[in-house]
Amino acid sequence: MSSTGSEQLPTTATTATTAPTAPSALIVGASRGLGHAMAAEFLDRGWAVVGTVRDTTVRTPLHDLADRSDGRVTIEQLDINDPGRLPVLRERLAHRPLDVLFVNAGITTGEDTPIGAVATADFIEVMVTNALSPMRVIEALEELVSPAGLIGVMSSGQGSIGNNTTGGREVYRGSKAALNMFLRSFAARRSGTRRAFVLLAPGWIRTALGGPDAPFTLEETVPLLADVLLSRLGTPGLAYLDRFGRTVPW
């Protein structure tokens, strides 16, 4: 997947006798679909990438990407709904400063079910996976990110309260709205830092989550998403943006 953007990549300081170090991104939830496509896009742009999968014994598209990456893609194990694994991952990556930490997580259930009829177990599963677990990842791994780096999560335009004029997908909408609020609180607690924080609304994309009727492909969407993230590097504070870099109403 190639880039259509023109952003300059960050590099570490160099001397006359050392080569530039490739910037580094951790993509949480990169085994397939949108997360895998994001990892591939960063790799194509010259980045080193760490991608997580839930089960390292099961081969995924991320493994294929790693095989042809000349060592620039590494794979780590993480089920974001298992917070006990986070200290292990933090320790494994302690030697590797990150320029970008991006969390890609999203499930849905009962899309046509009014919220009052949603089973409690389904509600808990979606809210934990889409809202609580991404924030646990960020809280656990934030110190791995460089002081001027970026922390982002895959949100959704359906998390916008102001844009909700049709209803539907109510548990999913609520989980993404909760994620938006949680990252806003986190960014407020880190308001004195130089880090950028991004809630990314990718649009309706043809993935396992988006389904075959979605109007946009990964190939046309992911380079735009990478452009948006890279454009925010060096800009402190929180932004809620769509794939064109436009602000999404809260």
Q: Percentage of the chain surpassing pLDDT 90? A: 75
Sheet holding 48-53, edge to edge: 73-77, 48-53, 24-28, 98-103, 145-154, 196-201, 237-242
pLDDT digits (tens, 9 = 90+) for 77-96: 999 999 999 999 999 999 99
- Average pLDDT, rounded, for the chain: 89
- C-beta neighbour count of 133 within 10 angstroms: 23
Give residue 209's pLDDT: 61
17 vs 133, higher pLDDT: 133
Give the ranges where the chain is alpha helix by DSSP (H).
33-44, 61-67, 86-92, 120-127, 133-141, 170-189, 218-232
The terminus-to-terminus CA distance of the chain in angstroms comes to 31
Provide the pLDDT confidence category of residue 110 given band limits of 50, 70 and 90. Answer: confident
Give residue 152's pLDDT: 98
pLDDT digits (tens, 9 = 90+) for 157-167: 999 999 999 98
Angstrom distance (rounded) from CA 103 to CA 46: 20
Task: Give the 3-state secondary structure of residue 213.
Answer: coil
Angstrom distance (rounded) from CA 188 to CA 206: 34
Handedness of CA 222, 224, 226, 229 (dihedral sign): negative
Mean pLDDT of 112-136: 95
- Under a CB-based contact definition with an 8 Å cutoff, are residues 197 and 151 in contact? yes
Which of these ranges, 49-63, 102-116, 143-157, 171-185, has the smallest mean pLDDT?
A: 102-116
Whether 119 has a pLDDT exceeding 60, the answer reads yes
Provide the pLDDT confidence category of residue 13 given band limits of 50, 70 and 90. Answer: very low
Which residues make Cβ contacts (< 8 Å) with residue 78, sequence separation at least 6? 28, 52, 53, 54, 85, 86, 89, 137
Residue type, 240: Y
Give residue 203's pLDDT: 76
Give residue 11's pLDDT: 39
Domains of the chain by residue range: 24-242
Provide the pLDDT confidence category of residue 215 given band limits of 50, 70 and 90. Answer: low
| Class at the top of the CATH hierarchy for domain 24-242 | alpha beta
Whether 10 has a pLDDT exceeding 60, the answer reads no
pLDDT digits (tens, 9 = 90+) for 131-154: 999 999 999 999 999 999 999 999
Angstrom distance (rounded) from CA 54 to CA 91: 17
Whether 16 has a pLDDT exceeding 70, the answer reads no
Q: Which helix (H) or strand (E) holds 147?
A: strand 145-154
pLDDT digits (tens, 9 = 90+) for 185-200: 999 999 989 999 999 9
Give residue 18's pLDDT: 39
